[in-house]
């Protein structure tokens, strides 16, 4: 084997190796470009998602601030319905009694009908007198200068078995019975009067609709 043949053989190996490497580098460059493009696309998607999340966060903060404002407005609004202990007029601890302020500022002391009377009756129960004794005591001690309207209310069921001609008649007799009892306990009769509404001012249920309301008018006499 001559030295010339060996030299040519070596040169052929080097050349083949160079060509192979060039081919490999070309392949490496193509894969790198794909990865680069994919990274750019992912970056753009992340940028868009980040913008969406920022918008959602801004809306959530606006909603939170709106809820805070609503809660503050509710806290500042005058209480309606059942009164708190600071606005119960002294009647809050009496059994069977519910206290509220009406739109005109009158204090309404409502006593459930089944606490006061048997069904279809206008005669006070013995057990009702304990509650009315406490009501009379508060009326005398704290509301001595205010006019009082005693209102009778019933449900809307037609009168069938009792002696009353209508619910209005029954509610009138019940209001009068409460008025007379309060008067017998020292509440001045001259500042009380009764009114009958029958089912004209219903509440959420029949039981709630059957009641007597002792309304302490806001304007003192």
pTM listed for this prediction: 0.61
Q: How confident is the model at residue 132 (pLDDT cuts 50, 70, 90)?
A: very high
How far is C-alpha 67 from the chain's CA centre? 13
pLDDT in tens, 7-53: 444 444 443 444 444 444 444 455 577 887 778 888 888 888 888 88
pLDDT in tens, 91-131: 988 999 999 999 999 999 999 999 999 999 999 999 999 99
pLDDT of residue 17: 44
Domain spans of the chain? 1-77, 85-216
pLDDT of residue 10: 40
Q: How far apart are CA 48 and CA 36, in angstroms?
A: 19
Q: How far apart are CA 221 and CA 116, in angstroms?
A: 29
Cα R_g (the chain), whole angstroms: 44
Q: How far apart are CA 73 and CA 103, in angstroms?
A: 19
| Residues comprising the chain, all counted | 221
- Does the domain at 85-216 match CATH 3.20.20.70? Answer given as no
Mean pLDDT of 176-182: 97
Q: Listing from the earlier edge strand, what are the strands of the sheet with 107-112?
A: 97-101, 107-112, 211-216, 148-153, 192-198
pLDDT of residue 32: 79
| Cβ-based neighbours of 174, under 8 Å, separated by 6 or more | 113, 116, 117, 122, 152, 154, 212
Q: Is the pLDDT of residue 148 over 60?
A: yes
């Amino acid at each position: 084997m001559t030295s010339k043949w060996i030299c040519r053989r070596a040169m052929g190996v080097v050349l083949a190796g160079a060509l192979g490497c060039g081919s490999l580098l070309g392949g490496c460059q193509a894969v790198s470009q794909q990865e680069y493009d994919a990274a750019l696309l992912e970056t753009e998607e992340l940028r868009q998602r980040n913008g969406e999340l920022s918008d959602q966060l801004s809306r959530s903060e606006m909603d939170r601030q709106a809820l805070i404002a609503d809660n503050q407005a509710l806290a500042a609004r005058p209480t309606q319905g059942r009164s708190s202990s600071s606005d119960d007029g002294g009647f809050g601890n009496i059994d069977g009694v519910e206290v509220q302020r009406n739109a005109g500022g009158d204090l309404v002391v409502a006593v459930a009908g089944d606490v006061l009377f048997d069904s279809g009756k206008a005669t006070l129960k013995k057990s009702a007198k304990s509650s009315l004794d406490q009501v009379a005591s508060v009326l005398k001690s704290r509301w001595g200068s205010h006019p009082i309207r005693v209102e009778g209310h019933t449900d809307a069921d037609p009168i069938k078995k009792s002696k009353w001609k209508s619910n209005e008649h029954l509610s009138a007799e019940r209001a009068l019975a409460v008025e007379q009892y309060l008067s017998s306990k020292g509440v001045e009769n001259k500042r009380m009067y009764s009114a009958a509404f029958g089912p004209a001012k219903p509440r959420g249920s029949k039981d709630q609709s059957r009641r007597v309301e002792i309304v302490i008018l806001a304007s003192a006499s």
